[in-house]
């Protein structure tokens, strides 16, 4: 059953407040390469609040593996070839295509063009793909693998940094040489949305349940959620898991929730399964006051499959600027415009895509500061020193330097016809930002792989 642990993706998206609206209709071949041809355009290389993201130049020499006088080879990981869910995380590859073409049209990184090696882990091939990447690529950017724990030691063994699209397992989340533009921390977790729900639905907080997939990593998310709700004084009346591949009938779960008197539900899963659970709830005449879930549920599949069973009670934690408000002049609109120009058929309206684009922007900023001498150490050090990061306005303020959870959040509310943003009493644009929105975990939920674990040290980073 281990090969079916693709559900761990939900963990990743839940814990890093990044999320995806997934489409299973697209796939991509393994380890393909994308680049941009043609002449450099004269349009602005600014993106949102970021200035001169990419730029022409006259580079020379080959200061590191994957870096030549004309190009920089970068790896992007995804699981699009997983037979159980074809096209899984296609947005990682699509975003890499769009960013590289956009950046190359503006000169690349000081004149070096970005070349993307698409590393399809296909769920079970993470280590093999990482081994190939170690032999060919400069570093990994803007991607992720559901079973990322299988590749961490290999990556650290070749001393290769990662500016991640997402990280899933504790081994990867706490690993050395990883920079997260939207951190998924092992020691701190956001709880601003839980405080907001508690105030809006006090009875729900006093009678809440938790339901998660029966996978080791998603159980970690559930355990962390229990610690968060305990810290706020919530009262749990229901706690269960469902099969990782989904039950044949969701009615028993709906009945159990109703019988336990659950008025508020913390759901850890994926949109298709939540839609089925809500349909089962509707069939027995039951609806909790709220269903709290994470940003991977910002997904049209939830709306399409849930339909009338969505009772305006699904609340999704997010740190991203909503697509519904992507007006001219916003970074999110520029992101959508880039997709429209370079990959109109690509997966654009996904929060995971926004997070991946943020990772590419952080790489570009860190790499351009290295000038001609683009080395792994230079890029990693530059990215790691960034203490305030919004991806040019794609998301709320994050701290890649410490990797701690963000103090800012907003909420998306699912309705039968789409998503809307309820009032969270914003104090920073659309976001509610407060140090009290972050909780320092007291329990140990695992540790990351270190350079020392593979016989290396920071002195090996060149």
Of 179, 249, 194, 184, the C-alpha closest to 225 is 194
Once rounded to an integer, what is the mean pLDDT over residues 381-406?
A: 97
Which residue from 167, 175, 163 is spatially nearest to 145, judged by alpha carbons? 167
Question: In angstroms, rounded to a whole number, what is the distance separating the alpha carbons of residues 370 and 111?
Answer: 12
Burial degree of 285 (CB within 10 A; 0-12, 13-18, 19+): exposed
Does 38 have pLDDT greater than 80? no
Phi, psi of 130 (to 5 degrees): -70, -35
Q: What are phi and psi of 209, to 5 degrees?
A: -130, 165
Residues 378 and 406 in one domain: no
User: For residue 297, what is the DSSP state?
Assistant: G
Q: How far apart are CA 442 and CA 186, in angstroms?
A: 11
Residues 385, 251, single domain; the answer is no
Domain that holds residue 286: 188-322+402-440
Domain identity same for 35 and 85? yes
| Residue located via tokens 């803007």 | 142
Mean pLDDT score, 245-273: 95
Between 20 and 34, the more confident residue is: 34
% of the chain at pLDDT higher than 70: 91
Residue 169 lies inside a defined structural domain of this protein: yes
| 90 shares a domain with 155 | yes
pLDDT on residue 33: 44
Residue 30 lies in a domain: yes
Say which DSSP state 46 is in: -
Lowest mean pLDDT segment, chosen from 9-13, 93-97, 371-375, 444-448: 9-13
Mean pLDDT within 316-336:
94
Report which DSSP code applies to 438. Answer: E
Q: How far is CA 36 from each of CA 33, 49, 115, rounded to the nearest angstrom? A: 10, 24, 8
Q: Is residue 238 part of a domain?
A: yes
Whole-angstrom Cα distance, residue 257 to residue 288? 9
What pLDDT is attached to residue 408?
A: 97
In a domain, 457, yes or no: no
Based on the fold, state whether residues 19 and 168 are members of the same structural domain: yes
What residues contact residue 202 under an 8 Å CB cut-off, 6+ apart? none
Q: Are residues 248 and 372 in the same domain?
A: no
SS3 409: strand
- Strand 71-78 versus strand 113-120 pairing type: parallel
Average pLDDT, the chain: 90
Does residue 366 register a pLDDT over 70?
Answer: yes
Is the whole-model pTM more than 0.95? Answer: no
Residue 445 falls inside a structural domain: no
What does the alpha-carbon distance between residue 426 and residue 16 come to, in Å, rounded to a whole number? Answer: 21
157/296 same-domain check: no
Averaged pLDDT for residues 66-82: 97
Question: Are 260 and 290 found together in one domain?
Answer: yes
The verdict on 361 and 243 lying in the same domain is: no
Torsion of CA 270, 276, 277, 282, to 10 degrees: 140
- Report d(CA 402, CA 438) in Å as an integer: 14
Whether residue 229 is predicted with pLDDT greater than 60 in this model: the reply is: yes
Helices and strands (H, E) in the chain, number of each type:
14, 16
Task: Place 16 in a pLDDT band, splitting at 50, 70 and 90.
Answer: very low
**Which residue has better confidence, 234 or 25?**
234
> Which of 459, 455, 403 shows the shortest CA–CA distance to 154?
455
3-state helix, strand, coil in the chain (%, to 5): 35, 20, 45
Report the domain count for the chain. 2
Per-residue pLDDT tens digits for 420-446: 999 999 999 999 999 999 999 999 999
* Domain annotation covers residue 46: yes
Residue 64 · residue 376 · CB < 8 Å: yes
Q: Is the domain of 164 the same as that of 31?
A: yes
Give ∠ CA 147-149-150 in degrees, rounded to 5: 80
Does residue 307 lie within any of the structural domains?
yes
Residue 456 lies in a domain: no
pLDDT at 6 over 80: no
CA 256 to chain centre: 32
- We report the CATH number of the domain holding residue 51 as 3.40.50.2300
pLDDT at 64 over 60: yes
How many alpha carbons fall within 13 Å on the CB side of residue 295? 31
Q: Is the pLDDT of residue 85 over 70?
A: yes
More confident residue, 23 or 386: 386
Could you tell me if 200 and 250 lie in one domain? yes
**In the prediction, which pLDDT does 300 show?**
83
Query: What are residue 408's DSSP bridge partners?
Result: 433
Which of the listed residues 347, 373, 401 is the one where a domain comes to its end? 401
Instruction: Work out the pLDDT band at 341, boundaries 50, 70, 90.
Output: very high
User: If you search the block for the tokens 């990061």, which residue do you land on?
Assistant: 389
* Residues 108 and 21 occupy one common structural domain: yes
Residue 362 has pLDDT above 70, yes or no: yes
pLDDT number for residue 219: 86
Q: Give 120's Cβ-side CA count (13 Å radius).
A: 18
Tokens matching residue 358: 């943020």
């Amino acid at each position: 059953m281990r090969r079916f642990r693709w559900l761990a993706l939900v963990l990743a998206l839940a814990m890093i407040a990044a999320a995806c609206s997934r489409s299973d209709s697209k796939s991509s071949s393994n380890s393909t390469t994308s680049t941009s041809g043609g002449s450099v355009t004269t349009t602005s290389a600014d993106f949102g609040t970021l200035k001169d993201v990419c730029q022409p130049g006259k580079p020379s020499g080959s200061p590191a593996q994957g870096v030549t006088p004309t190009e920089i080879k970068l790896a992007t990981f995804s699981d699009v070839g997983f037979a159980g869910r074809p096209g899984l995380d296609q947005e990682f590859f699509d975003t890499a295509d769009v960013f590289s073409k956009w950046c190359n049209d503006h000169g690349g990184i000081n004149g070096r063009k970005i070349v993307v090696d698409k590393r399809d882990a296909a769920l079970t091939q993470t280590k093999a793909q990482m081994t190939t990447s170690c032999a060919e690529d400069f570093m990994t950017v803007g991607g992720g693998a559901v079973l990322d724990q299988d590749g961490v030691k290999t990556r650290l063994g070749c001393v290769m940094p990662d500016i991640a699209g997402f990280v899933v397992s504790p081994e990867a989340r706490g690993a050395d040489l990883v920079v997260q533009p939207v951190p998924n921390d092992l020691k701190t977790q956001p709880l601003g949305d839980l405080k907001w729900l508690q105030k809006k639905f006090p009875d729900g907080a006093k009678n809440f349940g938790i339901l998660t997939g029966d996978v080791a990593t998603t159980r970690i998310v559930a355990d962390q959620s229990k610690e968060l709700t305990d810290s706020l004084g919530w009262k749990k009346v229901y706690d269960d898991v469902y099969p990782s591949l989904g039950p044949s009938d969701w009615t028993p779960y709906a009945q159990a929730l109703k019988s336990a008197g659950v008025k508020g539900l913390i759901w850890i899963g994926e949109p298709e399964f939540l839609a089925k659970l809500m349909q089962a709830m509707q069939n027995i005449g039951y609806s909790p006051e709220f269903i709290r879930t994470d940003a991977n549920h910002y997904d049209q599949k939830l709306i399409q499959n849930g339909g009338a069973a969505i009772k305006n009670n699904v609340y999704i934690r997010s740190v991203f600027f909503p697509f519904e408000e992507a007006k001219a002049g916003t970074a999110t609109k520029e992101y959508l415009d880039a997709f429209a120009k370079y990959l109109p058929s690509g997966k654009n309206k996904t929060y995971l895509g926004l997070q991946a684009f943020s990772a590419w922007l952080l790489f570009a900023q860190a790499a351009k500061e290295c000038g001609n001498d683009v080395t792994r150490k230079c890029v990693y050090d530059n990215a790691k020193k960034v203490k305030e990061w919004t991806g040019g306005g794609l998301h709320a303020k994050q701290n890649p330097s410490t990797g701690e959870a963000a103090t800012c959040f907003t909420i998306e509310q699912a309705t039968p016809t789409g998503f809307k943003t309820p009032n969270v009493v914003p104090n920073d644009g659309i976001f509610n930002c407060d140090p009290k929105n972050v909780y320092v975990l007291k329990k140990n939920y695992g540790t990351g792989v270190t350079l020392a674990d593979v016989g290396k040290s920071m002195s090996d980073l060149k």
